[in-house]
Structure 1
Amino acid sequence: MFKHRHTLPLLAAMALGAGLAVAQAAHAQETLTQRVQEEKTMHLPARGMSMAQVEKQYGAPLRKLSPRGGDSAHHPTINRWEYSNFIVYFEKSHVIHAVLNTPAGNNRDPGAVN
């Protein structure tokens, strides 16, 4: 079946690598699903709230991160406010999304994101 003996170990290593990749993807999906469920149970700022409403209800953020975008009508300014447990994303001055600030996500240091 195989002309070279070294082909079999290579195929075994590739199969093992593929199996590990599938397991990692399944774990990532499980972690993401858990995070989404956790976000649903938390009282996070709602889509459409103004910056003033968020600050009145949740207090001042730990940091107001540098705005992104705003270079055209197709790329509106996105502001990010960091609180101890979550990050709020604003399009111009209204909430478009709020996410948990957890080690499971990629929000460990949102200020470092370009």
Structure 2
Amino acid sequence: MQKLLTTLLILLMSLSVVTISNAEVLLIERVEQSQATDRPKRASTMNQVRNQFGEPSRVVSAIGEPPITQWVYSNFTVYFENQYVINTVMHQANADEKGPKPLN
């Protein structure tokens, strides 16, 4: 009986290692995919972003000082300080993915 329990325990531990390995591969693939995705570059102007990517689906008005504006596109959100891109953040691929959530 104890041999059977030990074997089951080893089997369960093996499966959990395989599951963790697969999750890491998926995370690595997601990071590589986001790096290859065309998105606005830092220091681009609002006009350059609009010309390259079109109109955003939503604009979050400027907040704070210096004013920070958000333009939301389908795959990413662009953050501007005054008229210049300071960052672009990819959206979550699915609800289970860990990472920042867009503001509502």
* Partner Cα distance (1:97, 1:45) in 2: 8
Are residue 79 (structure 1) and residue 69 (structure 2) matched? yes
For residues 18-39 of structure 1, the C-alpha deviation after alignment (integer angstroms, 9 at most, x for no partner) is: xxxxxxxxx8xx84x6654332
- Compared with structure 1, are the counterparts of its residues 69 and 37 closer, same or farther at alpha carbon in structure 2 (3 Å cutoff)? farther
1:1-114 equivalences under 5 Å are 31=27, 35-70=30-65, 76-102=66-92, 103=94, 104=97, 105-107=99-101, 110-112=102-104
> Sequence identity of aligned pairs in percent?
38
Secondary structure, in 3 states, of the residue corresponding to 1:48? coil
Aligned residues: 78
The 1-side partners of 2:51 and 2:80 are apart by 15
What residue ranges of structure 2 are gaps of 5+ in the alignment? 1-22
- Structure having greater relative contact order (Cα 8 Å, sep ≥ 6): 1
RMSD: 2.3
Q: TM-score, normalised by structure 2?
A: 0.63
Answer whether contact 1:51 1:93 (CA < 8 A) is retained.
yes
Q: Flag the 1:38–1:68 CA change in 2: closer, same or farther, 3 A.
A: farther
Runs of 4+ with deviation above 2 angstroms:
33-39, 103-107
